[in-house]
């Protein structure tokens, strides 16, 4: 994912934030073939991988990464890069055609970080269409990924009921003007870890492993139990 938010030390390798319990990475075909057995030994607990973009693009390594994550036992999630200038329903269909999810997988992710020349109203309507369609398909609320600048300019005050994955390349956690809490934080894009060639994005989840599990796909009967107070 390509966030425009950088910080003073962005040309230096991203250091792991060990104060958090749950750590993850996100990859696409740009990282080439990831050695997931090695990654799983590096205190990494989840990974988001690119599945689709726009109406037709499908990541060439998605199926391989998706299967490998299940094999090594890492929590896996799939994301779609949203193109506001083309039909949102077609984009949702592209994702649904590519991604077969199972119980225990992380919710689908909508990566929203470009306007592609459309208005804010058109952006919001398109995002809503994609989210609703995917929520019906998989019976779980998708996660929204964006960076802090884009969130404040275009998304703040909308979609408050959806989990949020925010990109802010810093060692201090994001503070959102609306008071919205982040669920995942992408804190750097120059991470280095055995098993991944070159730079990789580093992420953390705000809670513990049990709380991560409650976000994942589950049968309705199980979901109602874990959400009881």
Catalytic positions are: 113
Q: What is the DSSP string of 101-144?
A: --TTPPPPEEE----TT--HHHHHHHHHHHHHHHHHHHTSPPEE
Q: Which two tokens stand for residue 101?
A: 């999810």
Q: How many CB atoms lie within 10 A of CB 112?
A: 26
Separation between Cα atoms, residue 28 and residue 50, nearest integer Å: 5
Phi and psi dihedrals of 117, rounded to 5?
85, 0
**Hey, how many other C-beta atoms are within 10 angstroms of the C-beta on 127?**
23
Distance between CA atoms of residues 188 and 5, nearest Å: 10
229/216 Cα distance (integer angstroms): 18
- In a 3-state reduction of DSSP, which class is residue 79? strand
- Distance between CA atoms of residues 152 and 139, nearest Å: 28
């Amino acid at each position: 994912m390509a966030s425009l938010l950088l910080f003073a030390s962005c040309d230096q390798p991203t250091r792991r934030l060990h104060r958090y319990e749950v750590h993850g990475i996100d990859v696409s075909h740009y990282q080439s073939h990831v050695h997931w057995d090695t990654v799983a030994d590096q205190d990494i607990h989840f990974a988001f991988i690119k599945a689709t973009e726009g109406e037709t693009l499908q990541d060439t390594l998605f199926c391989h990464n998706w299967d490998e994550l299940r094999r090594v036992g890492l929590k896996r999630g799939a994301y779609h890069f949203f193109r506001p200038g083309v039909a949102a329903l077609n984009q949702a269909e592209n994702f649904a055609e590519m991604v077969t999810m199972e119980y225990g997988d992380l919710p689908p992710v909508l990566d929203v970080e470009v306007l592609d020349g459309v208005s804010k109203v058109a952006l919001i309507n398109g995002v809503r269409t994609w989210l609703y369609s995917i929520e019906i398909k998989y019976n779980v609320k998708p996660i929204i990924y964006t960076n802090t600048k884009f969130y404040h300019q275009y998304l703040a005050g909308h979609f408050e009921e959806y989990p949020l994955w925010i990109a802010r390349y810093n060692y201090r956690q994001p503070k959102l003007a609306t008071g919205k809490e982040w669920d995942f934080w992408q804190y750097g894009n120059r991470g280095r870890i055995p098993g991944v060639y070159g730079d990789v994005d580093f992420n953390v989840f705000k809670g513990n492993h049990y709380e991560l599990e409650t976000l994942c796909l589950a049968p309705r009967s199980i979901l109602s139990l874990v959400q009881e107070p």
